[in-house]
């Protein structure tokens, strides 16, 4: 078994893409980031594991963010132990790690023994995939592309979304995200009689799919089905635009949001946990 870093993004994609596409929705984070890196963003630590000349696992980091572990069917614990050893031996920072339950736990067990650091659970999520929208849209509003005039609102809602998701977003970061969403024309608002009541964003895209995120409705507009309509409408648009599926992440402990997404047509396909080291 051999653990290595790729020499370039193109080299890495050639080595790992076919493996990651076997569980495309579950690996949307790595695949989406690789798409961005191809477009000229900052290079990363692009790791892979080979056995008998065949790539059997992938992992990566865009410093100073968390390490991302791929979701690969039937990966052995020894593979994750070798990944932990490789990162430790190369004296690379490990602020945290994100990936499927089993892979993350195997990595943590190995890395804690090596580093004498302790990891703490930060986020516990499910990954959903939608191939078909199962509900009709209510006539209580419409999905509208946000524009520059909505900048302040989107910035404020991103900060509020961060608080709800236990992932506090600074005002500066929220400002940057709002600008990027608007420049990418990825952010949408659900509006009722010209009043914005909910938002949803088209995030990363992979070879066949697109990820939906930043779903947020202020408290005063909740329990009216606005988020359901916004997510359903954007998901339908993405399928109509030619994507084969949509994916999204949910808080495993939130039965309300999970029920809403399942009603729309999203089905659980994987897990995603985030652990942070002290």
Vertex 56, ends 19 and 204: CA angle to 5°? 35
Q: What is the per-residue pLDDT for 39?
A: 64
CB neighbourhood size of 57 (10 A): 23
Q: Which of 99, 108, 107 lies closest to 83 in space, CA to CA?
A: 107
What is the pLDDT of the chain when averaged over all its residues?
Answer: 95
pLDDT band at 13 (very low <50, low <70, confident <90, very high): very high
Vertex 124, ends 98 and 111: CA angle to 5°? 40
| Distance between CA atoms of residues 91 and 8, nearest Å | 20
- DSSP conformational letter for 238: H
The answer to whether residue 162 scores a pLDDT higher than 80 is: yes
pLDDT band at 230 (very low <50, low <70, confident <90, very high): very high
Q: What is the per-residue pLDDT for 43?
A: 63
The answer to whether residue 41 scores a pLDDT higher than 60 is: no
Q: What is the per-residue pLDDT for 192?
A: 96
3-class SS shares of the chain: helix, strand, coil, % to 5: 40, 30, 30
Contact status, residue 188 vs residue 230, Cβ threshold 8 Å: yes
The answer to whether residue 140 scores a pLDDT higher than 90 is: no
- DSSP conformational letter for 65: S
Task: Enumerate domains of the chain plus CATH numbers.
Answer: 2-117 (3.40.630), 130-269 (3.40.630.30)
- What number is the average pLDDT over the span 105-123? 96
Of residues 42 and 166, more confidently modeled: 166
| Distance between CA atoms of residues 183 and 62, nearest Å | 22
pLDDT band at 96 (very low <50, low <70, confident <90, very high): very high
Q: Which of 202, 160, 159, 209 lies closest to 184 in space, CA to CA?
A: 202
Q: How many residues does the chain have?
A: 278
Lowest mean pLDDT of 8-22, 24-38, 100-114, 184-198, name the range: 24-38
- Give strand pairing partners of 119: 277
- What number is the average pLDDT over the span 246-274? 95
The answer to whether residue 40 scores a pLDDT higher than 90 is: no
pTM of the full structure = 0.93
- What number is the average pLDDT over the span 101-128? 96
Q: What is the per-residue pLDDT for 35?
A: 85
pLDDT band at 36 (very low <50, low <70, confident <90, very high): confident
The answer to whether residue 37 scores a pLDDT higher than 90 is: no
Tokens for 158? 């991103």
Q: What is the DSSP string of 172-214?
A: HHHHHHHHHHHHHT-EEEEEETTEEEEEEEEEEE-SSEEEEEE
Contact status, residue 203 vs residue 212, Cβ threshold 8 Å: yes
Strands 245-251 and 209-216, by their bridges, are: parallel
Q: What is the DSSP string of 108-153?
A: HHHHHHHH---EEEEEEEEEEEESS--SPPPSS-EEEE--GGGHHH
Q: What is the per-residue pLDDT for 165?
A: 85
The answer to whether residue 167 scores a pLDDT higher than 90 is: no
| Distance between CA atoms of residues 23 and 245, nearest Å | 12
- What number is the average pLDDT over the span 15-27? 98
The answer to whether residue 42 scores a pLDDT higher than 80 is: no
C-alpha separations of 36 from 42, 101, 205 in Å: 9, 26, 9
């Amino acid at each position: 078994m051999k653990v290595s870093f790729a020499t370039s993004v193109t080299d890495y994609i050639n080595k790992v893409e076919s493996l990651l596409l076997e569980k495309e929705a579950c690996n949307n984070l790595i695949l989406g980031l690789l798409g961005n890196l191809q477009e000229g963003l900052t290079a990363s630590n692009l790791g892979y594991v080979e056995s008998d000349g065949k790539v059997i696992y992938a992992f990566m980091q865009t410093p100073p963010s968390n390490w991302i572990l791929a979701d690969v069917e039937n990966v052995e614990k020894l593979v994750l132990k070798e990944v932990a050893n490789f990162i430790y031996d190369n004296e690379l920072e490990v602020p945290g790690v994100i990936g499927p339950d089993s892979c993350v736990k195997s990595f943590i067990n190995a890395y804690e023994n090596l580093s004498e650091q302790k990891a703490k659970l930060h986020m516990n999520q499910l990954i959903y995939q939608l191939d078909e929208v199962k509900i009709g849209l209510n006539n209580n509003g419409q999905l509208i592309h946000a524009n520059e005039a909505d900048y302040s609102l989107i910035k404020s809602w991103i900060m509020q979304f961060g608080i709800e998701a236990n992932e506090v977003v600074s005002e500066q970061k929220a400002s940057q995200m709002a600008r990027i969403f608007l420049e990418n024309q990825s952010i949408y608002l659900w509006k009722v009689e010209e009043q914005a009541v909910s938002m949803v964003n088209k995030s990363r895209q992979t070879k066949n799919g697109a990820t939906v995120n930043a779903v947020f409705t202020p408290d005063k507009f909740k329990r009216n089905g606005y988020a359901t309509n916004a997510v359903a409408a954007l998901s339908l648009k993405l399928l109509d635009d030619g994507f084969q599926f949509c994916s999204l992440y949910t808080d495993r402990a939130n039965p309300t949001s999970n029920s809403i997404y399942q009603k729309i047509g999203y089905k659980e396909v994987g897990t995603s946990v985030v652990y942070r080291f002290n």
